Amino acid sequence: MDDAKDFVSTCPVPLSDYNRILLAHGGGGTLMHRLLAQVFYPAFANAILDQQGDGAILSLGGSRLAFTTDSYVVSPLFFPGGDIGTLAVNGTVNDLAMCGARPLYLSAGFIIEEGLPVETLCRVVESMRLSAGAAHVQFVTGDTKVVEKGKGDGLFINTAGIGAIEHDLPIQPRNVKLGDVILLNGDIGRHGLAIMATREGLAFDSDIKSDCAPLADLVLALLDAGIEIHCLRDLTRGGLASGIVEIAATAGVHIHLEERAIPVRDDVRGACEILGFDPLYVANEGRFVVFLPEQDASRALDILRTQVDTEGAACIGSVTDGCPGMVTMTTAIGSRRIVDMLSGEQLPRIC
């Protein structure tokens, strides 16, 4: 449920000002955090939920487990670089990885709209099979529901996942420390643009594909190398900016970013300029940040750069003295600005 609780004080509009749910309540930004903080957290409050990681860390029979869930409502179902099936596997696998866990088991809950071609379902299931194999996880339980035509939108998928935590590090936002550096595993903004281009029938000159990928192997490689990871966060809805603001708020630290250090492909930057998007807020499905002590940064970067598509991994900022909960950035032209969480809804239903 992300980092809602500590963020609520900075939300400008109380939930009660809206009496109906808006698209932005699912957008990963300010309104979603307010919904979590005002409706879900108070009802379900407990010490585990209060960890506010990408998943829950559970102690069970002497073992530590990670447990997480996501529903996938992406539109359209198929897009360059993936489909709802690859998202449904990698999204949940990555949330487990962000807990520092080895992903093991997934559940699958299908909500199908009456009239969906069986062939479409089969294509998605085949993607899920391949993605699960690549991420070394098994589907072990599931559920299928069908709703009347006009009461759904083709196919929604929920996956929940269980992973094993095989180390003793307390990887979570509150473990972020003054002086930590922030590493990012590659260029940002491709997933959101790939969805947008498909949805709107835009043809970019270049070939922008989703970055959707499983991240557990990278995280486990960092852990195996003895890197002292303090916090991990994948950069999905709300993009890099929202993820960093969440962590600054939960950890109560000031985070400073260097815009020049954040890799953005030229074609992505160009498309963002045309569409009026800021790449900092565009969703990714294969990008994450690592908070760790500076002395481990160089070794960690070498490891982060070993995967296909992660050669652009870079150090993009650090945790500094300043205003707790604030994120600032030195821009490409050398000025300094405050980075806020995504406000409103930039691109609905990108995952």
Among 276, 279, 250, which residue's Cα sits nearest to residue 263? 279
Rank residues 67 and 288 by Cβ distance to a copy of itself and give the closer one.
67
Does a cis peptide bond (omega within 30 degrees of 0) precede residue 103?
no
Q: Does 204 bind a copy of itself (CB under 8 A)?
A: no
Find the binding residues for a copy of itself in span 171-200 (CB under 8 A). none
Is the Cβ–Cβ distance between 90 and 213 less than 8 Å?
yes
Q: Does 147 bind a copy of itself (CB under 8 A)?
A: yes
Find the binding residues for a copy of itself in span 279-318 (CB under 8 A). none
Alpha-carbon distance 277 to 275, whole Å? 6
Which residues neighbour 73 within 8 Å (Cβ) at sequence distance 6 or greater? 153, 156, 349, 351
Rank residues 122 and 178 by Cβ distance to a copy of itself and give the closer one.
122
Q: Does 12 bind a copy of itself (CB under 8 A)?
A: no
Q: Does 76 bind a copy of itself (CB under 8 A)?
A: no
Q: Is 293 helix (H, G, I), strand (E, B) or coil?
A: coil
Q: Give the β-pairing of 82-83 and 78-79.
A: antiparallel
Is the Cβ–Cβ distance between 84 and 132 less than 8 Å?
no
Find the binding residues for a copy of itself in span 155-174 (CB under 8 A). 156, 158, 160, 162, 164
Rank residues 129 and 337 by Cβ distance to a copy of itself and give the closer one.
129
Rank residues 200 and 205 by Cβ distance to a copy of itself and give the closer one.
200
- One of 78, 80, 105, 293 touching a copy of itself (CB under 8 A): 105
- One of 13, 14, 76, 115 touching a copy of itself (CB under 8 A): 115
Q: Does 40 bind a copy of itself (CB under 8 A)?
A: yes
Stretch that binds a copy of itself, among 147-155, 210-218, 258-266, 328-336 (CB under 8 A): 147-155
Alpha-carbon distance 241 to 52, whole Å? 17
Stretch that binds a copy of itself, among 31-39, 253-261, 272-280, 334-342 (CB under 8 A): 31-39
Among 142, 43, 19, 40, which residue's Cα sits nearest to residue 89? 142
